[in-house]
Structure formats: C-alpha cells, structure tokens
Amino acid sequence: MTFNVNLTITNIQEAQDANLRAIAALQPDGEFGEAIRDAVTMLHRYATSITHLGRYRQSKSGRWHYDLQGTGGGALRASQSMEVRGLYGRVFIDPSSVNPMTGQKPSVYGVYENARGGTHAFYDRTISEYGDQVMNDVGRRVAFAVVK
C-alpha cells in the first residue's frame, strides 16, 4: 500500500521566524542572558545593602579589635562581588580581599557572620526576602521574550 501525501503548511515562514526569535531569546547574549545579568546585579546590590558594617577599636598596641562602640569598617560589604558567565551567575565574597583594619579575610569571617542568623544572615536574607521577586521578574521577562 502506498500513500500519496500532499500537505501545505500555511504561514510556515512566520512560524520559523518566531521559533528563531524564541531560540535567540534563550541564548546567553539574548533576553535570558540579560535577565540573568540583571538578576545577579539586583541580588548583589541587595546583599551588599543589608550586610552589617563591622565596628572596630584600636588597642594601645595598634591592633584593631571588634567593638560595638568602635569605628565603622565595611570590608565584608566591600568584598562582595558578582560574576556572570553565560547563563550562570553568582554573588560571593572575594577570597582575595583582606580587611585592612584586622588583616582578616572577609571570605572566612563572612561565612560565620551569615551563619549567626537573624539580621546578620545577609545571603540567607537576600534569598528569603528578595529571591522570589527577582525570580518572578526574570521569569516574566524570559516568557515575554519567548512568546512575542
């Protein structure tokens, strides 16, 4: 038995163009990549803004020690960095940074500061307080770019 199939697809060019636009939107240099870059930037700004500033007082020997009544620091806040590669992004504490007052690495004591919980948990709070909003924004932007 043989079949003689004769089909015509109307608007094939428009469908192919829409498919190409959707594929382009999902690439690292498309709308999805741009949304990832914006999301990482937003999360970095939020985490940095809620990170506590250290307070330090200089002893008679010249060493700096943590003291609630001391002078503001800011090394942990200043050491936060962000990186985007393709469709992957991260916010992190730069492991090469050093607190100029204490000589300590914010990438080490920052882990403990975040683990203290409550208002000290700058990364945990960023995800719980701001993560859903960022994800919804990214999702809307990508969905709109794919279906337009």
pLDDT in tens, 128-137: 999 999 999 9
Residue 94 domain-assigned (yes or no): yes
Q: Cα–Cα distance between 76 and 96 in angstroms, integer?
A: 12
Q: What distance lies between CA 20 and its chain's CA centroid?
A: 28
Expressed as residue numbers, the domain containing 50 is 36-136
Instruction: Count other C-beta atoms under 10 Å from residue 65's C-beta.
Output: 13
Residue 23 lies in a domain: no
pTM score, two decimals? Answer: 0.81
For residue 6, tell me if it sits in a domain. Answer: no
Q: Give the pLDDT confidence of 49-104 residue by residue, as tens digits.
A: 999 887 777 778 877 777 767 676 789 999 999 999 999 999 999 999 998 888 88
The packing angle between helices 132-147 and 12-25, to 10°, is: 150
Question: Does a structural domain hold residue 68?
Answer: yes
Residue 115 lies inside a defined structural domain of this protein: yes
The yes-or-no verdict on residue 118 having pLDDT over 70 is yes
| Residue 72 domain flag | yes
In a domain, 85, yes or no: yes
User: Burial of 76 by CB count in 10 Å (0-12 exposed, 13-18 middle, 19+ buried)?
Assistant: buried
Total of domains in the chain = 1
